[in-house]
Amino acid sequence: MKITLFLSSLWLALAALFSPAEKTFLTGKVTDSNGEVLIGANVKILKNNEIVWHTMTDYDGNYRLELDSGTYHVEFLYTGFATRRILDVKVRYAQINFLDVTLEPNADLQEVVVTAYKVPLIEQDKISGGHTLTSDEIKSLPTRPAAGKTEEKMSPKKKAVEKKETAKPSSPKPEAAPYAVDGVRVTSAPPPASDFDGPMKLAYKPTETEISREEAIEIADKEVVVPPPGGPSQPAPRAGLLTAGEWNDLHNWNNHWLDLLADGEIEAYQAMYGFFPKQRYTVLLTNEQDFPLADVPVMLMNRWGQVLWEAKTDNTGKAELWVEMFGNDNSPELKNINNPFSFLLSFKIDGKPFNPATPLKPAKDGINHFKTEAKCETPKNVDIVWAVDATGSMGDEIEYLKTELLDVIGRAKSRNPELAFRMGTVFYRDVTDAYITKSSGLSPDISKTVDFIKKQSADGGGDYPEAVHSALEEAVFNQKWSENAIARICFLVLDASPHQSPEVNASLQKSIREAAKLGIRIVPVAASGIQKDTEFLMKFFGLATNGTYVFLTDHSGIGGKHLEPTSDEYKVEPLNDLLVRIITEYTTTETCEGKSEIRFADDPQGQNANWQAFYYPNPASSQFTLELPSGVQSVTIYNSEGKSVRKLEKPQEGRHDVLVSDLPAGFYTIRVLKDGQLQSGKLMVMKV
């Protein structure tokens, strides 16, 4: 009897263990916008940005995967259609989880649309057959409260538009009838939008800024009529209307950033986002002839060989390395941070490792310069990704920004014909909008990037924070960056902060760490409406990735009020000129003879054809030589605060020796004014 009971219990246990009802599935149908099934569509299941399962749809457009329970990203691909990636799909244990997807046709095979996972309107039966629900049963189903939704995003009419662009607004519903939001029936009234807590006001006050006439940058005082967002009949504005400034905290480390840290003015923002850019080490790599070694992977390690930070040298041979950037490194040597032997440097050139034993000094004490035998050669690839906030709050400036970006793309490519440019784009909104991110992959066919940008518009949003972390994830992890490049740049254009949560902060930190490792320089461009906490987060991005901080200004009269930056004096420039200048500074390299160049783009009349000025040595300690192929209007040297420290009035053709022995060590900008055009180059001054 006992044996019989035991065998019966064992049989029941085994039956329960291997019962099909206990298996976990994800299944669904893939169709086009007309409802036609897509046969052979690829379905990829991703965990931590890695593909863990893969299948294809059958003749009925259906797919079915047996998965472990958990949260996944699901990607759908089909030739001739925009790739769609759905984030955070929850696969529940021992259930058949349903996820139907509609793909939109698109000729650009590299376009990717990322959306949030929507809870189904009705949870389907766990068995594959399911059953039919009557209207009375549907009405009796429990509803989900609308907490956390803003009134703007809960509009039934807006939902209809998001479902299909050509769809007509649905007929008005009875006032008491429920409506659907993101597939969930809602009966409760939407709560009022929560107030945004204003940022902490800094005691620091920026210096009043003026537009420099000596640089011959003319910004006309014109009344600018801003078209309503999404107005299709409005002609595209001309380029050069938006005005902007730049402030580089890396170049103003000792005389500005360290003061902010010492005064405690930014402690709240550091704690808010978990970024602590305090312990910085700058490394310069050159060969024995002082030719800068670009795109070299560099690691900063502790005495036990643990990697603390990874970066790549830029076009000047410089890399920025950080200790405890995210405040989570408990290495013992951090207790004795002033010990120069606490950290070790490691880098590879042509696969050969180098581990110099020289003690490292912090950035406040200067640059760590290392020389080694290496060839005089630099990569020719340039990757640029434009990540743009496309929520409704950007409607006052996005059409102007699109025009500026298109102008910058064309000018940057034509000005550097010897470089191999690839460009890509990421437009992003928020988790409750029609999409989270919509991207076009890095491509040498610049016309694809141009066409993609032209098709985008501002919509959605409504609550202040946006999906900035999703945009960075898409730009850093999902764009196919070149393995070898002289520059990788991500321009992040936005006017709102990311959501504030431990998960979002962790995502931002992961993306920034990876960007630094890959050599991607993040250059935020702050638009109108940005808050102080967001300004400092953008500064953190620039510091961590060897980038800079760009901000729009009120001088153009376009858009809303622009936040005055936390900086000293800065120059106001047309945004397109400023971005072209940054791209040029990030891609210019020395010749094998050790000469840096300042190049003017060709013009239709051929006046500036092949016009190049050279300066050397760079870095310089006592003086440098400037070679001009013809006379120019002026040559001005600015320090990192934008103040003029040297000026040559109407210098003629030939060589000019310029003294710099009295200047503090740091980075300087040489600006040449010729025939009303302005170009610049970077000069590093070092003390021997």
Residue-wise pLDDT tens digits, 168-219: 333 333 333 333 333 333 333 333 333 333 333 333 333 334 434 333 333 3
Tokens 């939902």 belong to which residue? 159
Q: Does pLDDT of 2 surpass 70?
A: no
* pLDDT of residue 463 exceeding 50: yes
As a whole number of angstroms, the distance between CA 332 and CA 44 comes to 43
Q: What is the pLDDT of residues 52-61, one digit of tens each?
A: 888 889 888 9
Helical H segments across 588-659, by residue range? none
398-415 vs 446-454: helix axis angle to the nearest 10?
170
Lowest mean pLDDT among 24-38, 63-77, 216-230, 554-568: 216-230
* Residue 27: predicted pLDDT: 94
| Mean confidence (pLDDT) of the chain | 78
Collect all residues with Cβ–Cβ distance below 8 Å to 37 and sequence separation of at least 6: 29, 30, 31, 57, 59, 60, 61
Q: Above 90 in pLDDT, residue 107?
A: no
Mean pLDDT of 536-545: 97
Q: Alpha helices of 316-437 — where are they, by DSSP H?
A: 398-415
Comparing 611 with 326, the larger pLDDT belongs to: 326
Taking the C-alpha atoms of residue 291 and residue 276, their distance in angstroms, rounded to an integer, is: 33
The string of DSSP letters for 171-209 reads PPPPTTS-EEETTEEE-SPPPPPPPPPPPPPPS--PPP-
Higher pLDDT, 325 or 181: 325
pLDDT, average across residues 116-125: 47
In the chain, what are the domains?
21-116 (2.60.40.1120), 142-168+180-186 (no CATH), 243-250+379-586 (3.40.50.410), 254-372 (2.60.40.1120), 593-685 (2.60.40.3080)
Evaluate if residue 543 carries a pLDDT over 70. Answer: yes
What is the residue-wise DSSP string for 446-500?
A: HHHHHHHHHT-------SS-B-HHHHHHIIIIIS---SS-SEEEEEEEESSPBP-
Residue environment code for 282-314, b if the CB has 16+ CB neighbours within 10 A, otherwise e:
bbbbbbeebbbbbbbbbbbbbeeeeebbbbbbb
CA angle 191, 194, 197 (to 5 degrees): 170
Which of 460, 397, 392 minimizes the C-alpha distance to 431?
460
Mean pLDDT of 519-542: 95
Rounded to a whole number of angstroms, the CA Rg of the chain reads 28
User: Is 98 or 643 the better-scoring residue by pLDDT?
Assistant: 98
Which residues have a Cβ under 8 Å from the Cβ of 669 and sit 6 or more positions away? 637, 638, 680, 681, 682, 683
Cβ pair 206, 566 in contact under 8 A: yes
**Residue 169's pLDDT is what?**
36
The residue count for the chain: 688
**Residue 226 in contact with residue 394, Cβ under 8 Å?**
no
* Pairing assessment for the beta strands 243-247 and 549-552 based on DSSP bridges: antiparallel
